Amino acid sequence: MSKKPLIGITSTQEKGDNPPNYQIGKHYVKGVAKAGGIPVILPLLQEENEIKEMAKNLDGLLISGGVDMDPMIFAEEPHPKLGRVDPERDYFEKTILESFMEQGKAVFGICRGCQIINLVLGGTIYQDITAQIDKDLIKHSQNAPRWHATHSIEIEKGTLLEKIFSGNSAKVNSYHHQAVKEPAPGFIVSARAKDGVIEAIESKDNQFLVGVQWHPEHLWEKDEKTFKLFQMFVNQARG
């Protein structure tokens, strides 16, 4: 049996904690473990050398969901509907992602994770889709259990996502008000919602570098195809 890969999962700092506590939803951890990885919850270190050393010792990186990105990172002023930001988390995730890119290791971004992958590599995002997209949108912040899929996505042919889901459509859950606007150079859009909002991006090269806008960590226990996302990510991290 091959050695199980170490999968780093980025944490969040909850508002109001004094001092802040590093936290992460258990479904990320359980999904990685079920797929055959060893989950490692990552503290938001602020020393570049420490972050790079951390990256060397990990086999895969899962960038979890969370608060909004600071728009100053991508040279925009804050929109009135911008939510809470965490500059320490922004710095940590940007730095460790860049290190993983340099090493060619597997990266999987969920919700905010999808957005930061796109931003760090040169793409753009909407700070608030309802205010910045001039068209009728479906509901992207559901009032339903997190394990329940509330809208459909259309998956592009020939993509890794099509291979994972064995088809050109799927149903997903939805908890976001930001989204990818222009994909970063070297990336393709692999899925969209019916209203055109980007739901997934992936790298054109051979590195596993995938971002999804929905929250598969809450779906994998009930949906076998969603679980394949975790399996493929962990297998790629194993090398």
Q: What is the CATH number of the domain that holds 223?
A: 3.40.50.880
- Is 205 among the domain residues? yes
- Is 143 among the domain residues? yes
Exposed / middle / buried, residue 90 (Cβ in 10 Å: 0-12, 13-18, 19+): buried
- Is 84 among the domain residues? yes
**Based on the structure, what is the number of domains in the chain?**
1
The boundaries of the domain holding residue 234 are 6-238
The pLDDT score that the predictor gives to residue 173 is 96
- Is 24 among the domain residues? yes
- Quick one: CA torsion of 179, 181, 184, 190, rounded to 10 degrees? 70
Pairing of the two strands 187-193 and 151-155: antiparallel
Q: Which helix (H) or strand (E) holds 155?
A: strand 151-155
- Is 1 among the domain residues? no
Q: Which residues are catalytic?
A: 111, 215, 217
Report if pTM > 0.85.
yes
Distance of alpha carbon 110 from alpha carbon 55, whole angstroms: 19
- Is 93 among the domain residues? yes
- Is 65 among the domain residues? yes
The pLDDT score that the predictor gives to residue 16 is 66
- Is 90 among the domain residues? yes
Q: How do the pLDDT tens digits run along the chain, 239 residues long?
A: 578 999 999 999 877 667 778 999 999 999 999 999 999 999 999 999 999 999 999 999 999 999 999 999 889 999 999 999 999 999 999 999 999 999 999 999 999 999 999 999 999 999 999 999 999 999 999 999 999 999 999 999 999 999 999 999 999 999 999 999 999 999 999 999 999 999 999 999 878 999 999 999 999 999 999 999 999 999 999 98
